[in-house]
Structure 1
């Protein structure tokens, strides 16, 4: 995933393709963007907070930074996935199953959808909860191998992954900040203050 290293690495060189983009008209449509670049652009445009991690040690460090930034120490976390418990326990957070008692929701996801910057979830992460029933604050742990071009590819990925034991409650969350004015695109949607911890695994 060279894009993430380009954005978050120490190199300050500007590539020829970036120079070409600057010279293009703003009305020229972007074509054939890499999936990682497309997702990053749309996700941040939607208000998501993106944190790229090269290894699991950086995941732990950045999770701690999120707790510090929001003063979430010694608070309650809504989490349904035992695989994430080590991060919760090493930071002395309480795990709850009731959405009303949680300061934030911590989970994985099914896929990261590049063409609109949304995140695809299922009952494996959310159980029976609808997005508007979850805490407004969310931390999502995902990997670069979960990036897919669109929702159709996300559904195909789930079909292949689960085969017969297909999950329910499949939904996406797309808006990560409150709309500043009335916008029909936000109608019926809930916004989340969402941090994405993205681990490089390719």
Structure 2
């Protein structure tokens, strides 16, 4: 038996595979975020010009045949001026939502929101369809850095309702206890390079 292993080099191959799997992989913040985000079912569009952001937004809306979206962000509403879509400033559970976010969490692929984007509504009360506009400068390593960033950005007026979307694939299984909080959303991310 040992003779066959030596002949076919079985021991070396399996020990090399084990060694390769044990080596840590160090990804940059953006690569790490994209890796986790896509593995969780998120749809990702990268842009270096604001015209590309508008172009991608237009295609998302056309692809899904959405005639109306909700958006309560004045700056983001400017992106929709040349897109044939009606906008509603009240966030609802029936219309797709165009919004910004607080941070992108690299080590988990989550997107962090606060009352600045959601108001007083919980994620579970909102639409299953989200289009999120974010910039590369919003990338942070982990949730702790995201919370620290919120605290630093809003000194004296820290927003409430801080929550995150953790999964980007909607599951209808009523048996899945882990989906109780319903923070799974069909999500498109428009990531703009600002660094």
Q: For 1:2-81, what aligned pairs fall within 5 Å after superposition?
A: 25=18, 27-28=21-22, 30-72=24-66, 75-81=67-73
**Unaligned residue ranges in structure 1 (runs of 5+):** 1-22
Is 1:169 paired with 2:194?
no
Pick one of 94, 98, 103 that aligns with 1:106: 98
TM-score (norm 1): 0.80
- Cα pair 1:76 1:101 within 8 Å, conserved: no
RMSD: 2.1
Per the alignment, residue 184 of structure 2 pairs with 191
- Cα pair 1:143 1:199 within 8 Å, conserved: yes
Is 1:119 paired with 2:111?
yes
- Cα pair 1:76 1:93 within 8 Å, conserved: yes
Give, in angstroms, the shift of residue 199 of structure 1. 0.3
Bigger Rg, which one: 2
Give the 3 Å change call, closer, same or farther, for CA 100–184 of structure 1 in structure 2: closer
Q: For 1:90-101, what aligned pairs fall within 5 Å after superposition?
A: 90-96=82-88, 97-101=90-94
- Cα pair 2:164 2:183 within 8 Å, conserved: no
TM-score (norm 2): 0.83
Q: Matches of 1:101 and 1:177 in 2, distance apart? A: 18
**In the TM superposition, what whole-angstrom CA distance separates every residue of 1:9-55 from its partner, at most 9, and x where no partner exists?**
xxxxxxxxxxxxxx865743644321111100000011000000011
Give, in angstroms, the shift of residue 184 of structure 1. 5.5
Give, in angstroms, the shift of residue 98 of structure 1. 5.0
Per the alignment, residue 142 of structure 1 pairs with 134
Number of residue pairs matched? Answer: 177
Q: Matches of 1:183 and 1:141 in 2, distance apart? A: 30
Give the 3 Å change call, closer, same or farther, for CA 98–58 of structure 1 in structure 2: closer
DSSP 3-state at the match of 1:158: helix
Give, in angstroms, the shift of residue 176 of structure 1. 0.6
**In the TM superposition, what whole-angstrom CA distance separates every residue of 1:86-126 from its partner, at most 9, and x where no partner exists?**
12232142222151452x00000000001110000001101
Give, in angstroms, the shift of residue 133 of structure 1. 1.0
DSSP 3-state at the match of 1:50: strand
DSSP 3-state at the match of 1:153: helix
